[in-house]
Structure 1
């Protein structure tokens, strides 16, 4: 520590310090501190400047970052499961995407508050990381798939299937899919692939035929400028079930012959109200407005009026010279009115098939698809917005608003980083009396994965899950609104230095596509529903593809068509948050390997009668290597937990401190017993435990 004192002059002493030193000295003042257990969101720097716009800014980049994390976790898992002799080389390739993801967490990156050319650089870094991880994935598949000596061909990620673009499935008649499940439990998923043709043979890993449906690519999708060069006319839709935990499942697809009874063309919207339903959910649409009007959970006969609309606020145009002239920008959300403008459905059409039913809505510069898959307990809403019209010289902030009959009394709930659920109260702050000056922006909160409202009278909870971080609120009772896209013509003078005006590939305005998932259930049952869907959205199965010249019998003979990375199933309330190889020293014997294993109990205390109970986990659950020892670490895996010595603070009690019914256990060094077993691990609700494991192949 450097201490400087002036000999002559003001008598000011200059002390060079660090945050750690400063905190240590504050702790040793031995004073009683005030505690704060409420949220900092939403925060404002002045009466008309709520920093709630960046919750949605650059939604395409936000979606790309979320998707990239999915791929990164798959890459790290396969790097570990592959147990490569040259592990230091593969880990260096994983590092490319790790570093790109790390940079993307900067407060001016995923937040969307950077200049356009900087956002482009973040996206390019992520794309380079994908290619590097594709190499690691292929190296792992060459170890996991062969039954004999023959290696499989290299497989590729198709990252643009959301706009019906994938060269392999469009161009070739025979394609093999390897689908990897990064979850610690069996997973199901619906696959949609861009294709040409209407008749196919689709086979599972057992060689059984998989039912499929072929749907035309919409004209709205064909207009997306990033699709340039693709010529897929249809989408092939089918379901995969029971994909093994940390495992692979093979699907064989080839063009077939015969009738095209699985082809389901678009149909005109009926002249009467239209209901699409499966065994679990129904959704009814008004024949005049073409908008949804009612949702029902058929299992429990719970029905609510539901109206969903795409709407937009006009962003306030100001010069920022005074607070009252603050413009809406990348950081600041400031609409020029409290009621958004409704976007009118210009046309609508439907798809009716055995596997999926759809209602398509077309707006002047947006479109939506409501999808109900067979046996699904939720409704998928795919929104496509852009290019946002600015011909009137006005910036616009587009929302998807869901209006229900639920009386939530100004209370709604959002997640905190996909984990704890936070209660929000409209126009309220716990620690001071709020004078609300921005009734919309001042009630916006970050929604990382879900938002919901409740009404005890009918015992109903309506939940909307998102595929990326968005700003959201319940501005009026019975409503949920989520901002999906923003295009603004003025900077808010907080450092970006340019308007949030993303112009896209053709310079006319960025088109963004994303999804919401709607769940209606009782308050008691809803937690299990949104926890499982939220986890699946966070760690979706990843598809890798290749074209082949051999026939199906040859492939199924030469290669494993189902692989599982776990020999013991995890409890349903536990998630493998991290499985990551620690890069070995090239001089270290191959038999000495270490990896980080991070386990998460993803239910809160009291949230579900069964799932909120403590979980027992066996660390020796992996199929491809043997764990010989383990030690519990701090969350960042940079210190043994037994060596952690936290500062103790004297805090004034607030009177509503939470009661923790479970005692946290610290697992020091875990060693094999006489039977070659490690002690089991107990995880309490919302607890994350981090271990460094020793293993050999």
Structure 2
């Protein structure tokens, strides 16, 4: 419960006017407030105005953990202590009202704020109300843009912005998004920021070739049109590229971590240097379109002793501006990104338009930051699972009511998980670019959050089902470990589906029996099959020799229950065949194998009568160790740099076994002792599953390896392929090409890799092959008709980008190197209808059902099935968010999940009635918010809008969603 974070609304009275929920989102600004654009220092129209922006960049974990950074612990790793930065900055802001400071990461500020006295809190509020301390971005962290899923980004932004709103009111609302450090920039992030009400977006990193061209043509400021479906200007965002990344100009760094000379302004001293400082400052070139330039005066964890910075900045402003008397037309001022943006807006200029994104990012010819798209694949998968778990925790907190937080299993909360997931979105977290001990800390936080949520989920399901029997969570089913199912002769499986439509889902449970009776909630027998289990990955964990397989059908936003009983005299488990079958098929798909190699050879869609040639195999790129003629850049956590454009094949043939049953058909392939795969086709599935297992990656040959799987097909792609952006809109990619500049390609593999967050596809006029991934991965289409995805990386050298560790993961269970398991789902469709298949499939993988287990017989009065919805939502509509806002209201986001051009059937507007949505909730009132839930939508006015947008009357219960639209509502509810 967010209320548990003491983030209560300052005005708690809720009242209804014509079905509209009305109350302030945050404190009302004091009448004396001059925050925001009104607080900006005046500029001089006939001069070059230099906006100095004092700032600190505080990673929410990187070389040290979040706790270590906040407290200033482990300074032997890196000298950094965020609490001291905030102490020092506030003290210095009070000494000169002209001074300004921006702060970004709410995760740190929230901690610091809770430790302050009430008088200090009042002082800080005054600084915020006067615009002297300004929040920018304002999310819990500065999220990564390549490897994050949009739902988790929206959640972490909402959490940070809510705290600022409720603590500082309108003066705490950031006006600009600020992503100065992420390693490339996603179009979907710009779209989200626009819908969150930001007036502009500033970042520091872009490809070195792109920057050079933009500097030449003065296009470092642009209008980013971040959606091809949303009507402009809904997803339009002014975007500015900062001149020095996020660092000060060379020679002008005055932090305790810097070596630049201070301004020595006593003329009686021999080392007086004011004239030199002024001369060097005036020599800085301006490569922007207007008479305004921005300078970031700060860097990583700077301002711990803010006096050093401000004392010198005061002098710099004074002495440079004194030259105006000598005819120098330069005006230097303390400023913020929003004040700078306001001046650009006032020029009324037309900006260059951009429709694509800023991937991949390279800072030199052989230095492509595309390795982190895959780095730490186990953490990336755990983060994705945790996102699914959090959404279910949020939903069940609402559906179960107050008993979910305090019930038969104790006190549960969603807050711990929300904070852990928010921290995990940081650009050195899920990205995989942190030190190993920090990655361990992120995983520990997610595990702790899930433990808190498990209590809440158990309480909620107890309330909804009427059963207080103990619930068991088996979090290791991916490696066939679940103590209850391994040892019990009778148990039940509760399947909770977080999607707003029914799903069919395969369940695989580790067992020791040879045959079982499985019954659904109506007592009807369900087809099931027992087969031999693969045991190499679990090592010493678990002891099951078999796996029980059956399909479940779960209702929308609800659960169903299956009972499982051991059949004492049942038949033996399905036997394995050691020859490779020529084909496996169900009523939708057929897959053939080459009898000589054991490899896939074709894929057919039996409904549409399509067949493509399809060969799939595993390869590894030899990672550069830096000892190279062209460049000394090695592959590392950030950078992918193969030593050759030709990967090494792990094996040209696969040793195979097959199992064919009515429930599932499997071909198990072994390519080497460290690479294996199960090709799996379930009876009712329209997708082919490839469950890959890679590791421990061998390094005995002293070679770092980047392991890929490659799909080679007969599809005529003509250099084009397609990837998603943060799990939402799809972008077209072309090999050796960038839409906005003439690319000089220097890394033919790494320079053609892009982030794949949930899916990628290749197509021609007749066929589309879509690959749905279970985590964020890097990939590309290097050759026509081919799609490759990087699965795992094990490297022996640091790539000299600051993390100072090679990406060489091991664990207690895998001391010889990490073993990673994952799934790819393949579907073959006609291009015109492919999205109708892969959109819902990708959502099922992101939000997969939650299984909980109960031993023995359930009480006869147990409610075995429940749906939180009166009816399933239409296929085009996704229920993105359902979470408790406070005692009497919930936050609801509904999303149209199709782009305008994707589907004849599903790319149409859809209308939903909010009052007829839920079974356990009466919707008493509704008000619409912006995407981040920190402004009423009808009050959200942005710079990019020439006229205020028009909105439907929020008092009506009918809500229409257009392609790619997300609508956010605060609902006043009562439990039925």
Is TM > 0.5 for Structure 1 vs Structure 2? yes
Matched, 1:445 2:748: no
Q: Secondary structure at the match of 2:620?
A: strand
Q: Which residue of 2 aligns with 1:597?
A: 892
In the TM superposition, residue 493 of structure 1 has moved relative to its aligned partner by 0.5
Query: 2:640 matched to 1:324?
Result: no
Cα distance, 1:112 vs structure 2: 0.4
Offset, 1:436 = 0.5
Offset of residue 305 of structure 1 = 1.0
SS at match of 1:646: coil
Q: Secondary structure at the match of 1:635?
A: coil
Pairing partner for 2:382 from 60, 64, 79: 64
Aligned to 1:573: 876
Higher strand residue share: 1
1:156 aligns with 2:156: no
- Residues 1:269 and 2:579 aligned together: yes
TM-score by length of 2: 0.65
* Pair 648,521 (structure 1): closer, same or farther in 2 beyond 3 Å: closer
8 A contact 2:516–2:570 mirrored in 1: no
Give the 3 Å change call, closer, same or farther, for CA 335–574 of structure 1 in structure 2. same
Match of 1:403 among 695, 702, 712: 712
Q: What is aligned with 2:421?
A: 101
Q: Please give the alpha-carbon distance, in whole angstroms, between the structure 2 residues aligned to 1:75 and 1:523.
A: 36
Give the 3 Å change call, closer, same or farther, for CA 640–668 of structure 1 in structure 2.
Answer: farther
Shift of 1:86: 8.0
**CA distance in structure 1 between the aligned counterparts of 2:394 and 2:356, rounded to whole angstroms:** 36
Q: How does 1:325-474 map to 2 (within 5 A)?
A: 325-344=632-651, 345-364=653-672, 365-456=674-765, 459-474=766-781
Q: Helix, strand or coil for the counterpart of 2:815?
A: coil
> What is the deviation of 1:166?
0.9
Counterpart Cα distance in 1 of 2:913 and 2:851 = 29
Q: Which of 309, 314, 327 is equivalent to 2:617?
A: 309
What does 1:89-238 correspond to in 2, within 5 Å?
93-146=413-466, 151-218=467-534, 222-224=535-537, 226-238=538-550
**Against the structure 1 CA distance between its residues 649 and 51, is the aligned structure 2 distance closer, same or farther, given a 3 Å change threshold?**
farther
Q: What is the CA–CA distance in structure 1 between the aligned matches of 2:684 and 2:318, rounded to whole Å?
A: 82
Within a 5 Å distance, the mapping from 1:239-318 to structure 2 comes to 239-241=551-553, 243-260=554-571, 263-270=573-580, 274-318=582-626
- Whether the 8 Å contact between 2:696 and 2:814 is mirrored in structure 1 is no
Question: Once the 2 structures are TM-superposed, how far is the Cα of residue 610 of structure 1 from its aligned partner?
Answer: 1.1
- 88 and 264 in structure 1: CA distance in 2 versus 1, 3 angstrom threshold: closer
Report the 3-state secondary structure (helix = DSSP H, G, I; strand = E; otherwise coil) of the residue aligned with 1:60: helix
Q: 2: distance between equivalents of 1:332 and 1:115?
A: 15
Q: CA contact under 8 A between 2:406 and 2:459: conserved in structure 1? A: no
In 1, Cα distance between equivalents of 2:627 and 2:810: 22
**2:895 counterpart SS class:** strand
SS of 1:545's equivalent?
A: strand
Q: For 1:118 and 1:22, how far apart are their aligned partners in 2? A: 36
Where relative contact order (Cα < 8 A, 6+ residues apart) is larger, the structure is 1
* Alpha-carbon distance in structure 1 between the residues aligned to 2:647 and 2:872: 49
Secondary structure of 2:531's counterpart equals strand
How far, CA to CA, are the matches of 2:802 and 2:592 in structure 1? Answer: 46
Does residue 691 (structure 1) correspond to residue 969 (structure 2)? The answer is: yes
1:628 aligns with 2:924: yes
1:481 CA displacement: 0.2
Per the alignment, residue 904 of structure 2 pairs with: 609
1:304-344 CA distance string (max 9 Å, x none): 11100011101001169x97110001100000111111111
Match of 1:29 among 343, 347, 350: 347
Work out the CA distance in 2 between the residues paired with 1:63 and 1:690. 28
* Residue pair 1:27, 1:649 contacting (<8 A) in 2 also: no
Q: Provide the C-alpha distance between the structure 2 equivalents of 1:227 and 1:619, rounded to a whole number of angstroms.
A: 50
Who is 2:400 aligned against?
82
Q: CA deviation at 1:9?
A: 3.9
Distance 2:797 2:455 in 1: 43
Cα pair distance change 1:204/1:410, threshold 3 Å:
same
Following superposition, the deviation at residue 8 of structure 1 comes to 6.5
User: Residues 632 and 400 of structure 1: is their aligned pair in 2 closer, same or farther, counting only changes over 3 Å?
Assistant: same
Unaligned runs of 5+ in 2: 1-38, 40-96, 100-313, 323-330
Contact 1:53–1:333, Cα closer than 8 Å, also in 2: yes
* Greater helix fraction, Structure 1 or Structure 2: 2
TM-score of the pair, normalised by structure 1: 0.90
1:588 corresponding residue in structure 2: none
Residues 1:3 and 2:98 are matched in the alignment = yes
**Distance of aligned partners of 1:91 and 1:633 in 2 relative to their CA distance in 1, 3 Å threshold:** farther
Secondary structure in 1 matching 2:870: coil
Per-residue CA deviations over 1:217-253 (Å, capped at 9, x if unaligned) read: 12xxx222x5423101111100012x11111101111
Q: CA deviation at 1:29?
A: 2.9
SS in 1 for 2:619: strand
| SS of alignment partner, residue 709 of structure 2 | strand
Q: Does 1:46 align with 2:364?
A: yes
Secondary structure at the counterpart of residue 659 of structure 2:
strand
Question: Is the CA contact (8 Å cut-off) linking 1:82 and 1:143 kept in structure 2?
Answer: yes
CA distance in 1, matches of 2:803, 2:318: 43
Mean Cα deviation higher: 171-180 or 161-170: 171-180
Tell me whether 54-63 or 292-301 shows the greater mean CA deviation. Answer: 292-301
User: What is the CA deviation profile of residues 478-528 of structure 1, one whole-angstrom value per residue up to 9, with x for unaligned ones?
Assistant: 100000000000010101110000013331000000000111111112111
Contact 1:134 1:156 in 2 (8 A): no
Q: Is the 8 A contact 2:404 2:456 kept in 1?
A: no
The offset of 1:643, in angstroms, is 0.9
Task: Report the secondary structure of 1:137's partner residue.
Answer: helix
Query: Aligned-residue CA RMSD in angstroms?
Result: 2.0
Q: Are the structure 2 counterparts of residues 572 and 686 from structure 1 closer, same or farther at C-alpha, using a change threshold of 3 Å?
A: same
Contact preservation (8 Å) 1:398, 1:486: yes
Unaligned runs of 5+ in 1: 585-592, 651-662, 671-677
Could you tell me how far apart the structure 1 residues matched to 2:411 and 2:921 are? 17
Query: What's the secondary structure of 1:418's corresponding residue?
Result: coil
Secondary structure of 1:84 counterpart = helix
Query: What is the CA–CA distance in structure 2 between the aligned matches of 1:268 and 1:187, rounded to whole Å?
Result: 34
Distance in 1 (CA, whole Å) between partners of 2:381 and 2:599 is 26
**2:63 aligned residue:** none
